[in-house]
Structure 1
Amino acid sequence: MGFVRTAFVGLGLAFLLNQLASRFYTVLPSPIGGHVDKQFELVEAAFRKNFHDGWERDGASFVVYHKGKKVVDLWGGYADTASLRKWKEDTISVVFSSTKAVAALCVALLVDRGQLKYDDLVTKHWPEFGKHGKENVTVQWVMSHMAGLAYVDEAISEEDALDHKRLARIFEEQKPNWPPGTATGYHAFTYGWLVDQLIRRVDPQKRGIGQFFREDIAQPNNIDFHIGLPKEEQYRVARTTIPSITDSISEMMSDYRVFMLLVSVTKVLMLSDSPMSRIMKNPNWLQTFGVNTYNNPDHHRMEQGANLGIGNARSLAQTFQLVLDGKIIKKETLLQFSKPFINEIDLVMGLTMAKGQGLVFEPLGRKHAEKTDYFCGHPGYGGQNVNFDLKNNLVLAYVNNGLKTGMGGLVRTYIRLRDAVYDVIEQDSYNTN
């Protein structure tokens, strides 16, 4: 506790110095666009406050569907603060690991069509995969990060990432990081490549994940989300920025759990042979430490279903509202899709995480919520979030390009917005009753 107390004192002093220093800089105006239904004006106020308080240093979008209706559609700030390029209605951005929710939906669609089952052995569709003790790996284990393939030993180059046959051989020859099925550990990058390999083998047309999503989900429903961005759409992409030390300090001062998370992750990364450190080293060309290679347009062309999806809050929310409406997968598939498969400590993250079918599940944590009530979806690095709540018939999505230190339920900008939404619908429910 002495270490934590001393650290907080140091953080407090640094935060005060940061606040003093900020007075010497011009504060840019924060243009806000969009609309909200009248009863959700509290949410717009929260969105504006994020900018007013300096919590959104660049740009963001936030969209809410409630009971099948879009009630919030907001965007604001800058797609590129350095050039004063404003975040517009059609601005899109890298959503990092929130891409995994979209990839999970592609697999769910194959399940819905009867072409795949979650309890299928991977070798049923990909026989060569079963080498080196991987013969018992199921599709569900891949989707729940239990395949023991959180990292691979062979370096994956940018050229490899563009060659699905080469990637297949790398995963076929890889020995599991731990006995498959015995534990869960976040497959930060490998999830995307493994899901792509499954889709290529199960889909009758043998399409990759980007083409499959585009042709079977995005285009039929006019969804502006991309796994493999067309070159002609590059001009709309926001430039992401890494949080500075002072940005991180500000977040930690707002919520001590961000500090504890950062300490925990730092400890894991300092262990040279830890799964986390191995993951961050390969591929070495996808980085947000020191440099930010996620702004490289060449990477935006890749069909990487783990962390290179590009869209905005509108496209993510629209996608999962269509799921709730039964327009992409059937209701019975949705019930299977929206239940955790495993809930235990993640070997990579060092945190207890509920997972299943490619989604992450977070307890609602509201006053009237039950233990079995979850936010279903997936967080992404820097604060991205897409969640749906079956109990309240609700979909929320948040995308920002001024990346945050916290993640998931520890992103203060998103939590302020999410709390505002629930304050509205819970009050509305109380008044209705």
Structure 2
Amino acid sequence: MAHLQGQYDPRFEAVRELLAQNLETGKELGASLYVNIDGEEVLDLWGGWCEREHIRPWQADTIVNVFSGTKTVASLALLMMVDRGLLDVDAPVAHYWPEFAQNGKESVLVRHVMSHTAGLPAWEPPFSFEDAADIRGSTDRLAAQAGWWEPGTRASYHASSFGHLVSEIALRASGVPLRDFIRTEIAEPLEADFILGLGGDQFDRVATIYPADDPAPAPAPTVDADRQPTVEEQISLRTRLGSFSGTLGDPLTVFNSEAWRRTDFAGSSGHANARGLGRCLTALANDGWARGRRLLSPEAIALVFREQASGIDAYYARPIRWGIGYALAPQEKKERGPLPFLRPGPRTCYWYGTGGSMGIVDAERRITIAYAMNQCQSGRRSQNGAYYDAILDSL
């Protein structure tokens, strides 16, 4: 077997045992887990295999597609631009991107985009992966498109469109492509394995990603034949029809393809390991500091926790509290949200990727948790909640 490697504080022995057992029994193929508390890396573990055929052991620098976990780092980059005076979350998107004002979108603010309340959760269908890969063309389509609701009045997860929207905002505000900003201003200074848009010389570090063996159906509205669908149900269905993630065909083939790995979709195609993802996010938990570098001011971090929407998110048909750039944990009791295991916290933000990867920041307790794996999981077979509980129970 490929033995578990890395380091951990002895109080997290139960966490190490859980990960080791999951790798031994096959619940995990290859995985990495990371915990930072008060700026100290108290757990950094990895192990398993990059392929089901057990060809390459998972190494310290192995990376894997973290899907929508990418959004957490993209949002961090935009907050850094806010701190530098390049961007204002309360300014209209059209202030930076004039073409965006088409079809009545003059009142869409940057924070609406970052909180999934902008009214552009997808493209008008039909839409395909090939359309999305034409970054200029697909971004221009979003600029020309009318919003699906009045901005700020409801939330519906912008699963596929988020990356295109924030990438263009970042480029217009800073003059630097978002992938380059993340590389030079976040990943390289923090020695963090997080890459948006892989080069061919990096492919040999990538673990093969496998779809869930028993994939749970994507959350979708169920509408009785004898009634009209609700507005939320209509938005959810329309989003799926206009999202490239719903047109990809065989996920095993697509998500391991050169074409996918080279894309710089800032909402879905980032590649990382738990350490890389976690190092990026630790600034949110430590007053803006990460590995001796100041990424953010406390004022910028406070923006994350400015609640923008709360209640049933149309895409998920589940309750989500949206801050600016991140979802926020429930404040009083657990809810059946996207991560139902998440414990309440006054200043906890998070997001996750298809199959289980996740980044969670408890700024109140200065804790950062990250997880990345190559065997996607679903439903009761997901391991992310078990790791989360084991980590918090060890404190």
Contact 2:68 2:268 in 1 (8 A): yes
**Aligned match of 2:251:** 291
Q: Deviations over 1:281-313 (max 9, x none)?
A: 445477576433111122111121000011110
| Aligned partners of 1:151 and 1:275 also within 8 Å | no
Describe the shift of the 1:287–1:239 C-alpha distance in structure 2 as closer, same or farther (beyond 3 A): farther
Q: Check the 8 A contact 1:151/1:177 in 2, yes or no.
A: no
Q: How does 1:75-94 map to 2 (within 5 A)?
A: 75-94=46-65
Q: Which residue number corresponds to residue 377 of structure 1?
A: 350
Pair 1:102 & 2:73 matched: yes
Give 1:210 shift: 0.5
SS of aligned partner of 1:60: strand
Match of 2:199 in 1: 230
Contact 1:375–1:387 (8 Å) recurs in 2: yes
- Structure 2: how far apart are the matches of 1:47 and 1:285? 30
Structure 2 unaligned runs (5+)?
289-293, 335-341
Q: What TM-score does the superposition give when structure 2 sets the normalisation length? A: 0.86
Confirm or deny: 8 A CA contact 2:221 2:317 kept in the other structure: no
Name the CA distance, whole Å, in 2 between partners of 1:232 and 1:156.
31
**Which residue type is aligned with residue 404 of structure 1?**
Q
2:17 to 18, 26, 45: 45
Q: In 2, Cα distance between the equivalents of 1:147 and 1:366?
A: 28
Out of 361, 368, 391, which is 1:421 matched to? Answer: 391
CA shift in 2, pair 1:33/1:364, >3 Å: farther
The runs of 5 or more residues in structure 1 that have no matched partner are 1-28, 249-258, 426-433
Per-residue deviation, residues 327-382 of structure 1 (Å, max 9, x unmatched) = 21112211222443221211111111011221112237799x99552531211110
Whether contact under 8 Å (1:30, 1:76) holds in the other structure is yes
Cα gap change, 1:42 to 1:287, in 2 (>3 Å): farther
1:267 paired to 2:222: yes
User: Separation in 1 of the partners of 2:344 and 2:202?
Assistant: 43
Deviation at 1:32, TM superposition (A): 1.5
Amino acid at match of 1:416: A
Question: Which residue identity lines up with residue 191 of structure 1 in the other structure?
Answer: F
TM-score (norm 1): 0.79
Task: Please state how far the C-alpha of 1:53 moved relative to its aligned partner.
Answer: 4.5
Write the letter of the residue equivalent to 1:241.
Y
SS at match of 1:419: helix
Q: Which residue of 2 is the match for residue 119 of structure 1?
A: 90
* Counterpart secondary structure, 1:123: helix
C-alpha spacing 1:342/1:332, structure 2 compared with 1 (3 Å): same
Partner of 2:5: 33
**3-state SS of 2:364 partner:** coil
User: What CA distance in whole angstroms lies between the structure 1 residues aligned with 2:159 and 2:17?
Assistant: 34
* Local SS of the residue matching 1:386: strand
Please tell me whether the aligned partners of residues 360 and 378 of structure 1 are also in contact (alpha carbons under 8 angstroms).
Answer: yes
- What is the alpha-carbon distance in structure 1 between the residues aligned to residue 24 and residue 329 of structure 2? 29
Residues 208, 303 of structure 1: 8 Å contact kept = no
Kindly report which structure 2 residues correspond to 1:154-193, keeping only aligned pairs within 5 A, or say none: 155-156=126-127, 160-193=131-164
2:197 alignment partner, SS class = coil
1:404 and 2:377 matched: yes
How many angstroms apart in 2 are the aligned matches of 1:384 and 1:158? 22
Q: Percent identity?
A: 30
Q: Identify if the C-alpha distance between structure 1 residues 303 and 290 changes in structure 2 by more than 3 Å, giving closer, same or farther.
A: closer
Change (3 A) 1:181 1:336: closer
Is 1:301 the counterpart of 2:262? The answer is yes
> Could you tell me which amino acid in structure 1 is paired with residue 317 of structure 2?
G
* Structure with higher helix content: 1
What does residue 212 of structure 1 align with? 181
- Cα–Cα, structure 1 residues 414 and 183, in superposed 2: closer, same or farther, change >3 Å? same
Structure 1 pair 54/141, CA: closer, same or farther in 2 (3 Å)? Answer: same
- Counterpart contact for 1:241–1:402, Cα < 8 Å: yes
Is the 8 Å Cα contact of residues 156 and 282 (structure 1) preserved in structure 2?
Answer: yes
Q: Does 1:322 align with 2:295?
A: no
Structure 2 match to 1:11: none
The Cα shift of 1:83 comes to 4.8
Number of paired residues? 374
